[in-house]
Amino acid sequence: MSYEFDKLLEERKLIKGGITPEMVEKEMKNAKLDLQRAEHTYDEEDYKWATVMAYYSMFHSIRALIYSKGYREKSHRALLIAFKELLIDSGILEEKYFKNFDYAMYLRESADYRGEYSEGSAAETIENAKDLLTVVEKILKR
């Protein structure tokens, strides 16, 4: 494991154990619901919230995968690092999913904290969230 991953475990920002199948299912339900909300707010031309909700769809999809590996995170950054370590570096998912999530995190922070967002970035984040959700559903059904 990487230094960053080990440090998260040491600082208890990433915790091993205590995961139930119901927790994984709840995250998938939230991922789907947030994606629906993103699409709805996009259709209403509310691109800020479409971006935010699409990010959260990705967050919950990834969280379901991290939970399925037996880990729980305590921050968005811890989730990002665990995602890279447990799913990207191990070859379960392609690097593009990490890059898409990292970019969606940036877009969400820009929309939420700086009021910077666009129709194009909202559409891109929604498409990336759909793609990720489809892949995660396939992985979890194995």
- pLDDT tens-digit map of 30-83: 999 999 999 999 999 999 999 999 999 999 999 999 999 999 999 999 999 999
Confidence of residue 1 (pLDDT cuts 50, 70, 90): confident
Domains of the chain listed by start with CATH number: 20-140 (1.20.120.330)
Cβ atoms of 101 and 65 closer than 8 Å: no
Which among 141, 11, 140 is positioned nearest to 69, based on CA atoms? 140
Q: Give the global pTM.
A: 0.94
Q: Which residues contact 101 (CB under 8 A, 6 or more apart)?
A: 58, 62, 80, 83, 128, 132
3-state secondary structure of 16: strand
Stretch (H or E) spanning 58: helix 47-68
